[in-house]
């Protein structure tokens, strides 16, 4: 309906962007149909009337069309004059949309001041200020990883599953039940426990950085899947106890190639701490375990 991109404001109003890719600058003859669609579909309540309607042309807007855009009354007169040849039979395939009656009244009062153009140069400069620019155009300015996250003093509910699996691995190694209280009697396990929590939160900070850059966590899910594929056969090997399986798997995880993700391949965000922490995220989701 004449809208390639829709920008929605928080109050529910809209801007529309209609894009044209031609070899040369955009001329009026190439655009009357789009003006016709804007008028017809808003008149028919198929789409809301936008706050602004932007024309984006790959090679820019030609001087004749630019003159018309800057003069709303000229645009109105020319559209009415061009309607029969450019719009009438083309707005809806197989249907004739005549400019008469209430539709004509609507065009005669339509506020064409909402029509404007947006240069490709301006779009690229605005795009340069986003995290997406590097992935489309390259360059030296890469998205930056956010700051790290320190583990809270008291474990949060969201991490209790992988923590319980750590405690189970320690218990199997020491041949006695170890919980967060009795853990304090084993200095080497306390150090290991603290390091594993640091690793978990390192991976958590990586996940949040990915979400900040891409507005979702899809790339973190890819990293988890790659890590799972890289360690699952190793985890199934024979070990004397869960603690040994844990520490050997932590070492093995640092060897897993995660370059299938641009987070590792292009941004080089992934550290060894992240790789170990991703294993704990997998354990937290019950995809892996240390005690078999």
pLDDT greater than 80 at residue 140 = no
pLDDT reported for residue 138: 79
pLDDT, average across residues 108-130: 92
Residue 208 binned pLDDT confidence (cut-offs 50, 70, 90):
very high
Q: What is the mean pLDDT of residues 60-72?
A: 95
User: What are the phi and psi torsion angles at 45 (to 5°)?
Assistant: 60, 25
Report DSSP state, residue 86. I
Domain extent listing, the chain:
5-129, 157-284
Confidence category of residue 258, pLDDT binned at 50, 70, 90: very high
**How many Cα neighbours within 13 Å face the side chain of 191?**
3
Q: Read off the pLDDT of each residue in 60-74 and give the average, rounded to a whole number.
A: 96
Residue 87 has pLDDT above 90, yes or no: yes
Distance CA 209, CA 270 (A): 11
**Confidence band (pLDDT; 50, 70, 90) for 205?**
very high
pLDDT in tens, 265-278: 989 999 999 999 99
| b/e sequence 54-65, b meaning 16+ C-beta within 10 Å | bbbbeebbbeeb
Judged against a pLDDT cut of 80, whether residue 215 lies above it is answered with no
Within 70-174, residue ranges assigned H as helices are 72-82, 101-109, 120-128, 133-137, 160-174
> Which residue has 């809208």 as its token pair?
3
Average pLDDT over residues 273-285: 98
pLDDT attached to residue 129:
83
Region 59-78: mean pLDDT is: 96
Could you tell me the sign of the dihedral formed by the alpha carbons of 72, 74, 76, 82, in that order? negative
Q: What share of the chain is helix, strand, coil (3-state, %, to 5)?
A: 55, 10, 35
């Amino acid at each position: 309906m004449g809208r390639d991109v829709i920008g929605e404001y928080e109050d529910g109003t809209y801007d529309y962007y209609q894009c044209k890719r031609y070899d040369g600058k955009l001329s009026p003859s190439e655009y009357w149909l789009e003006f016709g669609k804007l008028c017809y579909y808003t008149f028919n309540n198929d789409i809301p009337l936008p706050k602004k309607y932007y024309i984006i042309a790959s090679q820019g807007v030609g001087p004749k069309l630019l003159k018309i855009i800057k003069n709303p009354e000229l645009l109105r007169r020319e559209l009415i004059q061009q309607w029969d040849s450019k719009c009438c039979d083309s707005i809806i395939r197989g249907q004739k949309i005549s400019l008469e009656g209430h539709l004509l009244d609507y065009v005669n009062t339509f506020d064409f001041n909402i029509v404007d153009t947006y240069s490709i140069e301006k779009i690229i400069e605005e795009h340069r200020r986003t995290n997406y620019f590097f992935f489309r155009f390259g360059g030296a300015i890469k998205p930056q990883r956010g700051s790290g996250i320190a583990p809270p003093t008291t474990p949060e509910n969201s991490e209790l599953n992988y923590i319980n699996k750590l405690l189970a691995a320690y218990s199997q190694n020491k041949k006695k039940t170890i919980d967060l209280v009795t853990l304090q009697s084993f200095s080497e396990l306390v150090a290991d426990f603290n390091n594993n929590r640091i690793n978990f939160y390192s991976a958590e900070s990586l996940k949040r950085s990915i979400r900040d850059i891409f507005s979702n966590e899809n790339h973190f899910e890819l990293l988890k899947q790659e890590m799972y594929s890289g360690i699952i056969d190793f985890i199934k090997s024979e070990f004397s106890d869960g603690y040994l399986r844990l520490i050997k798997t932590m070492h093995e995880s640092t060897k897993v190639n995660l370059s299938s993700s641009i987070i590792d391949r292009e941004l080089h965000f992934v550290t060894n701490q992240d790789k170990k922490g991703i294993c704990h995220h997998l354990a937290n989701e019950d995809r892996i375990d240390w005690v078999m």
